[in-house]
Amino acid sequence: MKAALDRFLSELEQLEKYIQYIDSVGSIIRYTPVEADSVAINDRLNATKAILGDLPLRKVFEYNSIVVSMYGFFEKFIETVLVGYLDQLCGFVPNFSNLPSPVKENHSILSAQLIQNLKVPKYENENISLIATKLHNCLVNDKSELNTIAFTDHTSNFRISSITEFFSRIGIKSIGSKIKLNENFHAFLNERLGSDLNIHITEEKIIFNLLSDLAQRRNDISHGTGLENTILNNSIFPEYIEFLRQFSNALFEILRDATLEYECGRDFAASSYVAIFDHNILCLEVKDINISVGDRIIVRSGSASNYIFFERIIEEIQINNVSHANIAIQGESTRVGFKLNGRVKKNQSFYLKRTGDL
């Protein structure tokens, strides 16, 4: 998943530089030669201006390139990060029968659809024998060997409604609500839309309007619809890019946290709560662990029917007011204090990685 995010953020950065390049070229073209300039500079500048004089659709070409690239990068990210999530999920859950119900229910249907789509360029490199083998291993051998690429099939452009449906097929419900409540994305929204924004009652179509607008502009370009009246000035595009940057980071964090439940079940063990001080100093009763500063504590929060998992990073470890970079405890239980990089509460559950798994 992280590779998908890093690639998308790099592509957005490249797009920003391309827009800067276009603006730089424009400033050069507008340059008025002075007497000290060489003949060669004057000739090249005049030749370029002559070309542009015969290119009235230059702004259209630039606009099309930016919009199509931006949407294409975003669509590929959404598909790739979903596949990355499924790959990671299968690594934590080796048995198909233990995967989330939506994944199991949709796998066979989407795999069959994938076979029908093999002539589509997007799937032309997929192998029908391998698709069938993975289906057999899931249904007969109870192995989590999914046709993950099958889950990337979609017929509509990615607006928030279609993105929500896209991720609901793998058990991630209400993705729009989760993203808007993400701490960093929430702060971004307050800065963009105003601190008086009541995010809980604001419609998603308002919060995520730039996604719909980008998808519509991409469609207009595809169909050649009214381009002369819809072209944006290059100065507007940074707002779209920053929105996509914040959106993608929030989505990654949500998917990462969604895997924690399964990672916790495989690699972590519950520890006994003792106390919390100043909201981020956690005291636990522990034994049979080997843990260091920089390691993670997984936290479960919420009721039995409605819970979430997230992680905190250990910034300091103390036993009897003495700091340690690493501790290895075997046998009898020991009270250990952990200073964490974020807040925790006493009604939450805390999990440390099992000895031997570090």
Mean per-residue pLDDT for 243-269?
95
- What's the pLDDT at 286? 93
pLDDT in tens, 61-101: 889 999 999 999 999 999 999 999 999 999 999 999 999 99
pLDDT in tens, 15-24: 999 999 888 8
- What's the pLDDT at 45? 76
Tokens of 33: 């030669």
Closest CA to 67 of 250, 252, 230: 230
pLDDT surpasses 70 at 356: no
pLDDT surpasses 80 at 148: yes
Residue 163 CA to residue 250 CA, distance in Å, equals 14
Residue 174 CA to residue 225 CA, distance in Å, equals 33
The answer to whether 298 touches 354, Cβ cutoff 8 Å, is: no
Closest CA to 27 of 251, 234, 280: 234
Mean per-residue pLDDT for 296-302?
94
**Exposed/middle/buried for residue 141 (C-beta within 10 Å: 0-12, 13-18, 19+):** exposed
- What's the pLDDT at 232? 79
- What's the pLDDT at 282? 97
Mean per-residue pLDDT for 184-213?
85
pLDDT in tens, 215-240: 999 998 987 765 555 787 888 899 99
pLDDT surpasses 60 at 358: no
Tokens of 117: 């789509």
pLDDT band at 279 (very low <50, low <70, confident <90, very high): very high
pLDDT surpasses 90 at 27: no
- What's the pLDDT at 160? 95
- Name which of 8-22, 53-67, 326-340 the model is least confident about: 53-67
Q: Which residue has the higher pLDDT, 288 or 140?
A: 140
**Reported pTM:** 0.87
pLDDT band at 354 (very low <50, low <70, confident <90, very high): confident
pLDDT band at 304 (very low <50, low <70, confident <90, very high): confident
- What's the pLDDT at 228? 58
- What's the pLDDT at 334? 93
